[in-house]
A and B are shown apart, each in its own frame.
Chain A
Amino acid sequence: MSGMRVVIIGNGIAGFSAASTIRGLDEQCEIAMIARETTPLYSACVLPDYISGKISRDHAFVRTNKDYSRLHIHTHFGREVKEIDPPRRTVTLDDGRCLPYDRLVLAIGSDAVVFGEHKKGIFKLKTLQDADEIIDHDGQNAVVIGSGAIGIEIAIALHSRGYKVTMVEMMDQILPLGLDQRGADKVRGMLEERGIAVLNGERAIRTLGGERVEGLATDKRELGCDTLIRAVGMRPRAELARQAGIVIGETVGIRVDVHMETSIPGIYACGDCVESPDILTGESYLNLFWHNANRQGAVAARNCIGQTTHYPGSENIVNLDIFGNHVTGFGFTEEAAHRFKDIPALGGTLADLSIIEHEQDGSYYRLVILGDRCIGGQFINLTRDIGMLWGIMVKRTSIAGLLEMFANEALMDRRPWLHRIRPFFRKK
């Protein structure tokens, strides 16, 4: 439909990916983009690098304002959406303006989970403004609550700014979504070696101090600090959708179908604000990763303009640089596989679960195998062949099938993982 009006709410990667995909396929339609922030697209993933001084502020920007005019996107930056009116097909902005739409794309993203009341010296890291505030803040002693990828990256960034850093994690290990205990202990060792204190198994209870933060009380002790970072996780910003009557899933993300369409026809959603099926299990999940948002935006855009496209599912991959050590984790950890309630959906039973792990010269890998398929992997100081293992996980290729293709001894020699896997399968 030419001359169609598409309104996109949000200017993160999902929103921009949707806008640029639509423009690439349809030169006629009108695209309007509404965003809270006034800047063009930047990468939230590199903000820790900006805080540490590894890259400049300008370097965090992925696009410039020119890109928006080149793509003929009408931008309404610095504006909030007050209301979506699905029957009349309009959105109302905070300045009272009312934009009509034929298709609406919600790419409103996520926000950091709140911890306690706000005090001076308490920060989160989600937006460029948050990063600016952390840089402007003058402190020496920081506590980071949460040890996910963001928590670890902020801890390292603050450490490189000269802070004394302590991390507090409720679970018994750090990076609980990416690594199993053994890998996590290695990463913990790398952090401690550089002077970042890691407190596992401690629950943060409340913040101390008056107007200004002076410390954090955990269930075991009181930690003094002048800077507190809350990195306990991200939560979809689904409130706007809820008010419009759009169905929200149990994970508090907006529920969408395989076409990224919400419960209201003509309204699509993509990025951090939606719950999406895991590529292995099909179970709805919050997979708040850049590449998922990027692909969801493109799928939503195609369906918007009538090109039926399916979203295959989301994949998780954590990729961290810990003081020069490369840490990667994808798919299920053993811990997560044990917790997962519907194991048959993964393609086996818990009895079929096995682990292949190997450690050599400072490098380490651990593959989580269910039946004859790889369902996850963790790697330290290795980059080689991870893409292949990730590929066979996503494509559900059986390892036996892969081994057959690698019956060629010559190729096997160059694939260390497969050498580890092979004897394991012979044993069975």
Chain B
Amino acid sequence: MEEKALVLHPERCTGCHACEMICSLVHDAECNLTLSRIGIMKTNGGGSKENIPIVCQQCRDPICADVCVMGAISRNEGTGALVVNEDLCVGCKTCVIACPLGGVLYHHIKGCAMKCDLCSGDPECVKSCLYGAIEFLPMDEWGRKARLKGAENLGRIFEILYK
């Protein structure tokens, strides 16, 4: 399958939370911001209002999978997503603290780690976003550029961590 990845455009995000609603709805059958795998970071300092979507970037060399003492995070070969095996996960939160991007979260009801699984290859958040702030693009040259540009907007922090 062609490799695709989520590309985030903070400058297009209006902070409407539609992606978070749909994410928790499709995964946990309820609209609950605390159960969403994608999160909107809202900032209101220094005079500039910003909305920054944050979601797992499905790293090539994922630290969350390395630190998992149960080997519960593995790559789904079909979608390329790193998925949590909830039967194995013991909820120790090591992956949550290890991810530099805040891409892994803790499911406070199930008591295990939760993260973006790319909705089996058809991410609902992409479809729910009316402003094109989340795109699911093939990782060809153009897709990579778009992803890099989105990353630059994230305060260039991706650049440091992925050098």
Contact = CB atoms under 8 A, between A and B. Distances in A.
Interface of B: 41, 43-50, 63, 66-67, 69-71, 88, 90, 92-94, 96-102, 106, 155-157, 159-161, 163
B90 to A, nearest CB: 5
B69 A45 contact: yes
A291 to B, nearest CB: 4
A295 B66 contact: yes
A253 B47 CA distance: 56
Given A55-B90, A387-B102, A62 B71 contact: yes
A386 B64 CA distance: 13
Contacts of B45: 409-410, 412-413
B44 to A, nearest CB: 7
A405 B69 contact: no
Given A46-B69, A62-B71, A406-B155, A328 B97 contact: yes
Nearest to B41: A414
A402 B159 CA distance: 11
A410 B156 contact: no
Contact of B43 (A13, A384, A414): A414
Given A319-B92, A397-B160, A402-B160, A62 B155 contact: no
B43 to A, nearest CB: 4
B72 to A, nearest CB: 8
Interface residues of A, number: 43
Contacts of B63: 291, 387
Contacts, number: 106
A77 interface: no
Contacts of B71: 13, 41, 43, 62-63
A125 to B, nearest CB: 14
Interface stretch (A95-103, A278-286, A300-308, A388-396): A388-396
A326 B91 CA distance: 12
A46 B161 contact: no
B98 A317 contact: yes
Nearest to B66: A291
Contact of A410 (B43, B98, B106, B163): B43
B88 to A, nearest CB: 7
Q: Which 9 pairs across A and B sit closest by C-beta, in order of nearness?
A: A409-B46, A413-B45, A410-B43, A391-B100, A45-B69, A387-B100, A386-B97, A291-B67, A409-B45
A63 B71 CA distance: 9
A290 B66 CA distance: 8
Contacts of B99: 387
Interface string A76-112: 0000000000000000000000000000000000000
A405 B157 CA distance: 7
A307 B92 CA distance: 34
A392 B160 CA distance: 8
A59 B94 contact: no
Given A379-B97, A385-B102, A413-B46, 9 more contacts: A45-B69, A45-B92, A54-B90, A326-B93, A328-B97, A383-B96, A390-B100, A409-B47, A410-B45
B100 A388 contact: yes
A41 B70 CA distance: 10
Interface string A8-49: 000001000000000000000000000000000101011001
Contacts of A354: none
A75 interface: no
Contacts of A263: none
Contacts of A386: 97-98
B90, B93, B94, B159 — which one has the most chain A CB atoms within 10 A of its CB?
B90
A374 to B, nearest CB: 13
Contacts of A45: 69, 92
Nearest to A330: B97
Contact of A49 (B90, B100, B160, B161): B90
Contacts of A351: none
A321 interface: yes
Nearest to B155: A411
A294 interface: yes
B161 A391 contact: yes
B98 to A, nearest CB: 5
A408 interface: yes
A319 B90 contact: no
B67 A413 contact: no
A367 to B, nearest CB: 14
A395 to B, nearest CB: 7
A384 B163 CA distance: 22
A62 B88 contact: yes
A410 B11 CA distance: 14
A87 B63 CA distance: 39
